[in-house]
Amino acid sequence: MSGQIRYSDEFKIDAVAQVIDHSPARFRRSPAMQALPRPERHPDGINLLRDFLNVGSEDDFRMLVAWLLGCFHPKGPYPILILSGEQGSAKSTTAQTLRDLIDPAQPSTRSTPNSEQDLVIAAMHNHVLSFDNLSTIRPAMADAFCRIATGGGFGTRKLHSDSDEVLFNATRPCLLNGIPDLAARPDLADRSIGIHLPVIPARNRKTLGAFNRDFTKAKPFILGALLDAVSCALGRIDSVRLSEAPRMADFAKWVVAAEPSLGWTQGAFLDSYGANRARSDQAAIEGNPVALAILSLMEGRTHWSGTATDLRQTLRERFPALTEDSHSFPRSEARFGAALRRVQPVLRRQGLNISFSRSGKSGMRVVELTNG
């Protein structure tokens, strides 16, 4: 497209993004980047996107639009979008569609990075990091995704040098898809928007050629609606006040500021976001043996206390089926303590508190579980 995007300084209901020929800002273009279409307006606005997304509810559609808007935030942090669903639910096509609207690239999606260094290098050349067909996320990579979504860096030794260091720093939107629910770790789920895509009935399937042809026609109008929403957010962001600040509060405030341009009623996004977070919490618990075992232990009781070793042994004796895997249920006290701290936030939202203290002259560390 010719020119660059400029946004209005003050929001008006009819304010629109403008295309200008000479931008005061300088841009970098990596070899993978592809051109965006020239944005245009359409009476149906963002609703044109509905025909190209396979979602099961209005809440899910609203969250996908919110994630797209979040990608335009000047600094982040950016929630990680995780698409899950069985074969035939158009996970890869949905991921490519979303990325093509804001950061088209060739290739559009990649396989899982092998290391945090690979992830950060990819972030230096892409705005959106999209990884396709994941079966699981290793703990080290889950931590890396968390850091890059909220802002993180990586240091490595400079080539041909023993003491010099090269530092990379990046904050980027991430998009992951796979058949299983990938946000098993509570800290990853806490930074994520999880969308489960339904299977598309055979009678509703399109050929890829027809889908791409229709999407190419609609893309300028969908992009135009997104940019108008960004213009709206930029004009209103300083006046938005959230009664409660959810996790990823900067993202939430940004989308709330854009609501008038999208035709959403006041509070619609926060309602959808709250429902999505509740589902993410449940999925994180179901995929975490430590959290499941603790919830089972506390069923019907209000209090338990003891050392981390006592708790680990109690859980293994009471719930052998949940705790038999040494990879997901740590055996060492240090790793088990770290696992307890990871599940603290998600269990707290279920009404179960985990606290740590020291008692006695020896300073023995005590774990307390409290229900209610």
* Residue labelled with tokens 């969250």: 63
Write down all domains in the chain, each with its CATH number in brackets.
Answer: 4-283 (3.40.50), 289-371 (3.90.1150.220)
User: pLDDT tens digits for 24-62?
Assistant: 877 777 887 888 999 999 999 999 999 999 999 999 999
Residue 20 CA to residue 8 CA, distance in Å, equals: 12
| 3-class secondary structure, 55 | coil
**DSSP strand E in the chain: where?**
4-6, 18-20, 80-84, 129-131, 152-157, 165-170, 174-178, 192-196, 303-306, 352-359, 364-371
33: DSSP letter:
B
Enter the tokens of residue 141.
Answer: 């990579």
User: pLDDT tens digits for 250-298?
Assistant: 999 999 999 999 999 999 999 999 999 998 888 889 889 999 999 999 9
Residue 365 CA to residue 130 CA, distance in Å, equals: 42
Burial class of 18 by CB neighbour count within 10 A (0 to 12, 13 to 18, 19+)? middle
Task: Give pTM, 2 decimals.
Answer: 0.83
Q: What values do phi and psi take at 327, rounded to 5? A: -75, -45
What pLDDT shows up at residue 205? 86
What pLDDT shows up at residue 27? 76
